[in-house]
Amino acid sequence: MRSRLKKALRRWAVAASAFAVTATGLVGVTAAPAHAATSMDLAYVADYSNDVRVLDMATGVIVGSIPLGDRPRLVVASPDKRSVYALRESLVANNDDAILVIDTATDTVTRTVGVCRRPMAATMKPNSTELWISCYSGDISVFDTVTETVTRTIDTGVPDLGIRLLFNADGSIAYSTFDADVYHYSNGVVAINTTTGAATTVVVVDNTLDTELLLSPDASTILVSHWNSQTLEVIDTASDTVTSTIPMGGGPREGVLNPAGTAAYYCVDETHLAVVDLASRSIVRTMTTPCQGSPTFAPDQNTLYVVSYQGLSVVDIRTGTVTATTRLGSTLEAPTGSIAFVQTALAPTVAAVSPAQGIGGAKVVITGGPFIGGGSVTAVTFGGVPAAEFTVDSETQITATVPAQSVRTVDVTVTDDNGTSAVAPSDRYTYVLPPPTISSLSPNSGVSSGGTTVVITGTDFATAKSVYFGGTAASSFTVDSDTQITAVTRAQHNGTVPVTVTNSAGVSTAVQDFTFFSPVPAVTGLSPSSGTSAGGTTVTITGIRFTGTFRVMFGGVAVPYTLNSDSQITVVAPAWSSLMTPASGTTPPGSVGVVDVQVTTDVDTSVTSSADYYDYLAGA
């Protein structure tokens, strides 16, 4: 099999054929739209002609060719979805082995970094920015995808690391095939501590011509395929032993686990896919399709892409059928079997904003896409004003906090590394007037007879339509400004009620309620405030809320009176009597006694105070 792959002069001479496929970032590279004015699904194919070819999967036509100076061993997609890494294997011992960084926006090599001798496999270490490259020399080069430098070289002490390098879930252990018997083909499995670099042999299998390595999601099981023995061996990583052997009915080569880790898909005899159920450890289905390279799952988990000499096949794993095949629309050297899928992405689109109207400070859900998290989305704006904050929930959803603005309709746009979404009716958000807010009332109480002038402060009063004290509208109100209203109360029963202001957006409740109380009369002064004990002095009583008066008393003794107004009463002081109740306090010298003058209305009797004292003087 390897000799066939290494025939550098073998060519494909195939015609272009139209081909429709939906493959959103199969390996996960998002490139700028350098190839066309529309989004494309691309495949970057490592080719022994010393190039990486770029295939437009929608048309089946090669749209780019990137020279590397020597043959590429494989290509790997970068974690930030902007680059493809190609491993260049030098055919001569000139130490020209390298990793080349390809910018998918321009399809050019932007950096070349030397790596260990004869690179064979490359895999991203989980939860890191490190690409681990295993080499036939037995070394591992650790390439940092941020700094684009080799930060570490590990001498595993293991001869001839093979064509696969896999990690357990937390990245603490790397598994690789290796050549245990120096047959130039992998026939063993080794575990490498990623911290110390120490390697431990897991198992040595029979002297097979080729092996493929798959690792279960929980790292408890390793699957090793054997081309010449036509078997698949299951290795328990806890005991480092082969627990079962599965007959494959042909020579198994590259394979892939489904995302759930319950089944494995293997290329067998280069003619068909075999589906192995890992629970029963048996073949449960075969699908006829040319198959020489590693199968790759699409994000929908139902579609499998298979590389072969003829091109790419699209397999629906639910029906077990090949739904499409694309041939390369140009002459191409024999591939290495390595392929990285890419979807170019134009600027994102905004399909909907929910809710589509509201006020500043509200949260909205923006749907559309693609919105790739991790910093790819750089801005969300509402009519050009940045969102107060936003979170990329998924490739199709963003949650944003609306910035404060005036009442109007704006376009919501999303910006990422590929540009800004085009405006459309679907992206519109309408600012509406917010309901009023009330922060204070002055005063916050008044008489139940009404007529109290109240200053209301708050916000969004400019279009106020009504002011209510409880369920009763104010007798009048004036909008002084957007933050102040002056209102006059109507008569109400005693009690505490909420004050509300209504505008076109709704109703707001005061933070402080308004209290209505009865209009108790009050005596504020007497003129004169003293007279002889014989009585007969005309006294003018001043105060408030005298309307409804039906009794005036001197020390508890009722006297005739004249109600002049709501604030004035005239009486003639009666003669001092032992029946009178003295006012509290001392009797001054020369005084017979001091009494309270009180006014009683149909509401209540005035409360006594020094302002209502009348002093009876001794004498005739």
- Whether 490 shows a pLDDT value over 80: the answer reads yes
Q: How far is CA 393 from CA 49, 367, 402, 421, in A?
A: 42, 10, 16, 18
Instruction: Supply the mean pLDDT for the chain.
Output: 81
- Whether 505 shows a pLDDT value over 80: the answer reads yes
Q: Which pLDDT score, from 0 to 100, does residue 214 have?
A: 86
- Lowest-confidence range among 59-68, 174-183, 510-519? 174-183
Q: Which pLDDT score, from 0 to 100, does residue 37 have?
A: 34
Rounded mean pLDDT, 243-272: 87
The long-range contacts involving 547-553, CB below 8 angstroms and separated by at least 24 positions, are 547/601, 548/601, 548/602, 548/603, 549/521, 549/599, 549/600, 549/601, 550/600, 550/601, 550/602, 551/599, 551/600, 552/597, 552/598, 552/599, 552/600, 553/597, 553/598, 553/600
- 565 pLDDT band (50/70/90 cuts)? very high
Q: Which pLDDT score, from 0 to 100, does residue 347 have?
A: 73
Q: Which pLDDT score, from 0 to 100, does residue 519 have?
A: 85
Q: Which pLDDT score, from 0 to 100, does residue 50 have?
A: 77
- Whether 539 shows a pLDDT value over 90: the answer reads yes
Higher pLDDT, 612 or 53: 612
Q: Which pLDDT score, from 0 to 100, does residue 529 have?
A: 95
Superfamily (CATH) of domain 522-617: Immunoglobulins (2.60.40.10)
Q: How far apart are CA 28 and CA 44, in angstroms?
A: 12
- Whether 610 shows a pLDDT value over 70: the answer reads yes
Rounded mean pLDDT, 549-560: 96
Q: Is 520 helix (H, G, I), strand (E, B) or coil?
A: coil
- Whether 540 shows a pLDDT value over 80: the answer reads yes
Query: What is the CATH topology of the domain spanning 23-255+333-344?
Result: Methylamine Dehydrogenase; Chain H (2.130.10)
List the CATH code of the domain at 437-517. 2.60.40.10
- Whether 329 shows a pLDDT value over 60: the answer reads no
- 336 pLDDT band (50/70/90 cuts)? very low
- Lowest-confidence range among 201-215, 505-519, 524-538? 201-215
Query: What is the CATH topology of the domain spanning 349-431?
Result: Immunoglobulin-like (2.60.40)
Largest CA distance in the chain: 145
Closest CA to 526 of 579, 581, 583: 583
What are the tens digits of pLDDT across the range 374-411? Answer: 457 899 999 999 999 999 998 889 999 999 998 999 99
Give me the percent of the chain exceeding a pLDDT of 70. 81
- 8 pLDDT band (50/70/90 cuts)? very low
Q: How far apart are CA 89 and CA 2, in angstroms?
A: 15
Kindly give, in sequence order, each residue whose CB lies less than 8 Å from that of residue 225, ignoring residues fewer than 6 positions away: 210, 211, 212, 231, 232, 248, 252, 253, 255, 266
Q: How far apart are CA 10 and CA 51, in angstroms?
A: 14
- 365 pLDDT band (50/70/90 cuts)? very high
- 7 pLDDT band (50/70/90 cuts)? very low
Highest-scoring range by mean pLDDT, 74-78, 214-218, 606-610: 606-610
- Whether 76 shows a pLDDT value over 80: the answer reads yes
The pTM assigned to this predicted structure is 0.51
Closest CA to 78 of 53, 103, 54, 55: 103
- For the chain, helix, strand, coil in percent to 5 are 0, 55, 45
| Contact predicate 227/252, CB 8 Å | yes
Q: Which pLDDT score, from 0 to 100, does residue 94 have?
A: 60
What are the tens digits of pLDDT across the range 260-290? Answer: 888 999 889 888 889 999 999 999 988 888 8
Kindly give, in sequence order, each residue whose CB lies less than 8 Å from that of residue 217, ignoring residues fewer than 6 positions away: 169, 257, 261
Q: Which pLDDT score, from 0 to 100, does residue 369 have?
A: 82
- Whether 525 shows a pLDDT value over 70: the answer reads yes
Domain boundaries, the chain: 23-255+333-344, 349-431, 437-517, 522-617
Q: Which pLDDT score, from 0 to 100, does residue 358 have?
A: 92
Q: How far apart are CA 124 and CA 269, in angstroms?
A: 29
Closest CA to 572 of 609, 597, 603: 597
Q: Which pLDDT score, from 0 to 100, does residue 21 have?
A: 27
Q: With left for phi above 0 and alpha for psi between -120 and 50, is residue 100 left, alpha or beta? A: beta
Q: Which pLDDT score, from 0 to 100, does residue 326 have?
A: 57
- Whether 29 shows a pLDDT value over 60: the answer reads no
- Whether 47 shows a pLDDT value over 80: the answer reads no
Fold agreement between 23-255+333-344 and 437-517 = no
Higher pLDDT, 212 or 232: 232
- Whether 27 shows a pLDDT value over 70: the answer reads no
What are the tens digits of pLDDT across the range 134-186? Answer: 888 888 999 999 899 999 999 988 777 777 888 888 889 988 877 665 554 55
Rounded mean pLDDT, 19-23: 25
